[in-house]
């Protein structure tokens, strides 16, 4: 499937996954070839099959990128009402999960616009002690470029969602 053609629908699935889970899972490849999955909460997407995430606490991912910059990002819509509505109707209105395959770039300083976007996305918790402890110094990001995708395809329930 062509990622560019489906990008607007992919963004909808990603938004719903973020609302219901608050994070994405990003898989990388360890030096010995085994997979490593990391939850990352501060991920943002652009209209051109790219995105970026704030990199602060992950230790394994940066090490893995030294030898292999491939990633697989997964988003799952785990909203109870989405699932109940879909099960009741017998079909999904949008894909319940999606995987994006691509690569990441080098760590760089976040732009003022990116930091502002981050602040806006976490403003609801800005008065809490944990907010300041965890998110006060997020300034480094990595760009992601996606080249392929794979939506969840449950038999019958997902028919017609990704028509070519």
pLDDT digit string, tens, across residues 11-38: 999 999 999 998 999 999 999 999 999 9
Residue of higher predicted confidence among 84 and 125: 84
**Domains present along the chain, CATH in parentheses:** 3-109+139-151 (2.30.110.10)
pLDDT of residue 136: 73
Q: Is the dihedral of CA 125, 131, 46, 149 positive or negative?
A: negative
107 strand-pairing partners? 142
CA distance 151 to 74: 9
Q: 120-145, pLDDT tens digit by residue?
A: 887 777 777 876 667 777 889 999 99
Q: Residue 26: which H helix or E strand, with range?
A: strand 24-29
| Percent of the chain clearing pLDDT 70 (strictly above) | 97
pLDDT of residue 133: 66
Instruction: Please tell me whether residue 96 adopts helix, strand or coil conformation.
Output: coil
As a whole number, the mean pLDDT across the chain is 92
Query: CA–CA distance from 110 to each of 5, 19, 50, 132 (Å)?
Result: 29, 23, 15, 18
């Amino acid at each position: 499937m062509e990622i560019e053609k489906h990008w607007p629908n992919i963004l909808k699935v990603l938004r719903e996954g973020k609302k219901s889970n608050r994070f994405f899972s990003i898989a990388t490849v360890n030096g010995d070839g085994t997979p490593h999955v990391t939850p990352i909460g501060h991920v943002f997407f652009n209209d051109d099959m790219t995105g970026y995430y704030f990199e602060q606490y992950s230790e394994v991912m940066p090490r893995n990128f030294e030898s292999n910059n491939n990633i697989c990002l997964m988003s799952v819509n785990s909203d109870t009402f989405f699932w109940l509505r879909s099960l009741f109707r017998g079909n999904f209105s949008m894909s319940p999960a999606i995987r994006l395959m691509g690569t990441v770039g080098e760590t760089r300083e976040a732009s003022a616009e990116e930091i502002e976007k981050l602040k806006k996305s976490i403003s609801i918790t800005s008065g809490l002690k944990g907010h300041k402890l965890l998110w006060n110094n997020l300034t480094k990001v990595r760009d992601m470029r996606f080249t392929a995708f794979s939506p969840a395809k449950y038999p019958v329930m997902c028919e017609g969602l990704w028509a070519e």
